[in-house]
Structure 1
Amino acid sequence: MNVIIIEDEKPSARRLQRMLDKLDIQAKTLLHSVEESIEWFENNQHPDLIFLDIQLSDGLSFEIFESVAIKSAIIFTTAYDEYALQAFKLNSIDYLLKPIDENELEKAIHQYRENFPVNKQVTLDFSDIKNLLVNPIEREYKKRFSVKIGQHLKLVNIDDIECFYSENKGTYLHTVDGRNYLIDHTLEQLEEELEPQTFFRISRKFFVNINAIQDIISYTNSRLQIKLKSFDEQEVIVARERVKDFKNWLE
């Protein structure tokens, strides 16, 4: 597999290179700017796979595609608009959020190998990528959940859910009328199924509905405590590493 890395942060590029080495994949070419990349593509055979950062030192990497017709699969290695990321993924282009996790990297490589057999190349059109960023593909998020009550199934509308939480290896939803129901989902699965403008994962234990937040209070260790309208089974705390993203989400 012929692989290159386009990344303006040299330590990040070398770290990714070492991680690929562990997977027996050699990325011999490291490029660090739009200008350098354009020149390289004009004078070299295009690789099978590109690991591509979006914001480079001299501009956005999309400028590369305006100058050169790229015939390679691409895995983005950046934090970017989540709707664009989803759109890229639907179009067989994967992404890795920095700092890159080794397991996620391995999964991305596996996905590439499944979707792009050896020696198969794709032509990536810059205008298509640009349109995805401006007009992201709309996707359907869950509108209701089914919960089991004895021998019966009950449907709970998403608007009636204040939060989701994990407890004793189970996942529960809490409704606006103060009821808790066990569901057959993990919080990780919910990340793909909940509308991100409405629900936010504040910690390993909680997703909260923005419409259910009644108060936000400063808490110890630079964390935040959330008061929901009816949930009072336990404290709802925003993890310190999620506080910044949580504040951005609120706005």
Structure 2
Amino acid sequence: MDIIIIEDEKPAARRLQRMLTKLDIETKTMLHSVAEAIDWFNGHEHPDIIFLDIQLSDGLSFEIFEHVKTDSAIIFTTAYDEYALKAFKLNSIDYLLKPIDEEELEAAIKKFRNTQHQNGNIDVKELRSLLTQTNHQKSYKTRFTAQVGQHLKLVDISDIACFYSENKTTYLHCYTGRNYPIEVPLEKLEEDLDPEKFYRINRKCILNINAIRDIISYTNSRLEIKIENFTEFQLIVSRERVKDFKIWLDQ
């Protein structure tokens, strides 16, 4: 079975590759952008299955199939909500909801092997329209509830400079310098926060763009971020996220 992974977040691509290896499936090719994928498809024999992230660093992955015709089966790897996923199902496209579950991955592979299903007739325009409509309809968190002693405190999203994880606890950090624990992991926060305003700079921190006061070059091609009243630890953009972080800043 010949498989390729198209995913702009390299750690996520490597994790999926490791999961496939556990199923005795070798993945030799990993691509990370629309442009790279188009170039690859034009010069190589197409695989049996494409594991495809929806949002790549240089656009929606649907754009690939505006330039390339393929009979490869496509399994989308996505964090989008159920409405969009139903749209994919209507078009006979399988999907895996991030973070990918090993049992669901194995089930998707078994489904392909049992049916040898091919997704060559993708209605790119319809899928793009459905995804865009869904994304526009998505609502994001506007406030959080934090426990302060015996009291519950409401914190408006506009007052939050960042979210961070420390000692297995998630905290929200306000511009005032106060930190409040919340019972929401960073992985869930990534789905609940407006991606135009918040970005996960590393495994420990999600940053509000309005909180940035300075950006400094750091060792190993990384970046250090300065925000007001935050002294818990250095805010470092991990090397694999620097490119996407710069794109996010320019949106």
TM-score, L = length of structure 2: 0.62
The aligned residue for residue 149 of structure 1 is 148
1:249 alignment partner, SS class = helix
**How has the CA–CA distance of structure 1 residues 158 and 53 changed in structure 2, closer, same or farther, with 3 Å as cutoff?**
closer
Name the structure 2 match of 1:218. Answer: 217
The answer (yes or no) to whether the contact 2:198–2:206 under 8 Å persists in 1 is: yes
Residues 114-165 of structure 1, C-alpha deviations (whole Å, 9 max, x = no match): x99x87x899644421313555532122111100111211111111100111
Alignment check: 8 A CA contact 2:164 2:186 kept: yes
Residue 162 of structure 1 contacts residue 231 of structure 1 at CA under 8 Å; is this kept in 2? no
Aligned to 1:46: none
Output one character per residue of 1:22-73: Cα deviation in whole Å (capped at 9) or x when no partner.
53789xxxxx569x87xxxxxxxxxxx9536599xxx8325678xx9x9x98
Sort the Cα spacing of 1:151 and 1:7 in 2 relative to 1 into closer, same or farther, 3 A. closer
Pairing 1:109–2:109 present: no
Match of 2:64 among 45, 57, 60: 60
Structure 2 residue aligned with 1:185: 184
Unpaired segments of 5 or more residues in structure 2?
Answer: 7-15, 27-40, 57-62
Deviation at 1:220, TM superposition (A): 2.0
Letter in 2 for 1:178: G
How many pairs were matched up?
212
Structure 1 contact 166–172 (Cα < 8 Å) conserved: yes
SS of structure 2 residue aligned to 1:181: strand
CA distance in 1, matches of 2:18, 2:249: 38
Matched residue type, 2:75: I
Q: Counterpart amino acid of 1:225? A: E
Work out whether 1:131 is the aligned partner of 2:129: yes
CA distance in 2 between partners of 1:182 and 1:194 (Å): 17
Identity percentage of aligned residues: 48
The runs of 5 or more residues in structure 1 that have no matched partner are 9-15, 27-31, 38-48, 98-102
User: Is the contact made by 2:160 and 2:172 (CA closer than 8 Å) also made in structure 1?
Assistant: yes
Partner Cα separation in structure 2 for residue 152 and residue 132 of structure 1:
42
Based on CA coordinates, which of the two structures has the bigger radius of gyration? 1
TM-score by length of 1: 0.62
Q: Is the 8 A contact 2:52 2:74 kept in 1?
A: no
